[in-house]
Amino acid sequence: MPEPKDETYHTRDYRPGDETAIAALFGTVFGQPLTENQWRWKYTGTGIRPPLARLAFDHTGRLVGHAGAISLRGWRQGQPLPFLQICDVMVHPDARGQLGQRNLFTVLARELLSSLAERWPEALAYGFPGRRPFRLGEYARVYGRVEQVSALYRPSWRGLFSWLYTRPLAWNDPRLDSLWARLVPGFALALVRDRDYLRWRYATHPCRVYQLLGIYLAGRLLGWAVVQRDDHHLRIIDLLVSQRWLKPALAALEHTAAVAGASEVEIWLPPGWRETLDGQQKLTEVVVANMIWRLPIPTTEVREALYYTMGDLDIF
């Protein structure tokens, strides 16, 4: 008969040197490589030390579980607010199967969120799990469902006239900060998308290359887009523009895509923005989740107010 599964685990916070085991666990659980440098960039690049991560070990000392959080600067109803993005909640296949409060996914998620709530009691904690992990978190009463993400696809466009146009923009352009200050009143709940955020999230990414495009009207900077080209497909990874300029800004990006040889653009936006646009919508496997364990912001508010794009996820 097979040996019974050991169900005794020890949990603790991250300690220096854990990165090697974390990267190995990531590869086992997700089937994708993660270097130690990538992990450090993600969890310490915004300035938080030590990284926010809760770990679980089996009776042999092997790492079998991890739940992490990225500390970010957010904005809520006219005031700064700590944002915490929950990432890489993962359990080794050998450590799965426990029920109820012994379930390691539940234990790690609740311990991490309890610790974050003590440190930042007013914060918004949110994440973008796949549908199956979301169901686990919902069952554990740590995830509240905001929405299943819809990707919007629109054909590129080579029209002769557009109010707006795009040009490459430097990651350190000082206008990025003044643009954010000018546009932030139009966002009720959002990440702070200023120059420091763009530099960390995109310019210093350890493995991916992005292009920053300014969106202009008669020489005036109205917004920006972070884009990636993939064959005949242009992904709009991130976008900052006033909602009143959304349609012409997207038309300018579609024109840019056509000039570059892309046949379509893809963008992720929340429903209040997405539903003002034409195009083909496709449900993704990603769910926007509000963290409700010990944290104060109701899921109804997040559903109505959160502005997000592909760039809010750590997978793009």
Domain count, the chain: 2
Q: Note whether 115 and 170 are same-domain residues.
A: no
Residues 127 and 219 both lie in one domain: no
Show pLDDT as tens, one digit a residue, over the chain (316 residues).
334 355 689 999 999 999 999 999 999 999 999 999 999 999 999 988 899 999 999 999 999 999 999 999 999 999 999 999 999 999 999 999 876 667 999 999 999 999 999 999 999 999 999 999 999 999 999 999 999 999 999 999 887 667 899 999 999 999 999 999 999 999 999 999 999 999 999 999 999 999 999 999 999 999 999 999 988 999 999 999 999 999 999 999 999 999 999 999 999 999 999 999 999 999 999 999 999 999 999 999 999 999 999 999 988 8
- Within this chain, do residues 248 and 195 fall inside the same structural domain, yes or no? yes
Same domain, 251 and 298: no
Residue 71: CB atoms within 10 Å: 19
State residue 100's pLDDT score: 60
Beta bridge partners, 268, equal: 151
65 and 124 part of one domain: yes
pLDDT of residue 1: 32
Residues 15 and 141 in one domain: yes
Residue 315's pLDDT is 85
Q: How many CA atoms lie within 13 A of 217 on its CB side?
A: 10
Q: What is the DSSP letter of 306?
A: B
CATH label of the domain that carries residue 277: 3.40.630.30
Q: Residue 34: inside a domain, yes or no?
A: yes
158 & 238 share domain:
yes
Residue 315, in any domain of the structure: no
Does pTM top 0.75 for this prediction?
yes
Does residue 4 sit within a domain?
A: no
- Which residue segment(s) compose the domain that 274 sits in? 151-283
Give the angle 76-145-244 at the CA atoms, nearest 5°. Answer: 45
Instruction: State whether 202 and 122 are in the same domain.
Output: no
pLDDT value, residue 7: 61
Q: Are residues 123 and 14 in the same domain?
A: yes
Q: Give φ, ψ of 25 to 5 degrees.
A: -65, -40
Q: Identify whether 3 is part of a domain.
A: no
Other beta carbons within 10 Å of 20: 11
**Rounded Cα–Cα distance for residues 160 and 221 (Å):** 21
Q: Is the peptide bond before 50 cis (omega within 30 degrees of 0)?
A: yes
Return the pLDDT at 2. Answer: 37
Residues 184 and 109 in one domain: no
Any idea which residue has 């969890």 for tokens?
Answer: 43
Q: Which residue is associated with the tokens 């409060």? A: 101
Residue 312 counted as domain residue = no
Please check whether residue 213 is in contact with residue 229, taking contact to mean a CB–CB distance below 8 angstroms. no
Question: Is residue 311 assigned to a domain?
Answer: no
Residue 205 phi/psi, 5-degree rounding, is -60, 130
Q: Is 219 contained in some domain?
A: yes
Q: What is the pLDDT of residue 3?
A: 44
Claim to verify: residue 136 and residue 162 sit in the same structural domain: no
Q: Are residues 89 and 189 in the same domain?
A: no
Residue 78: other Cβ atoms inside 10 A: 9
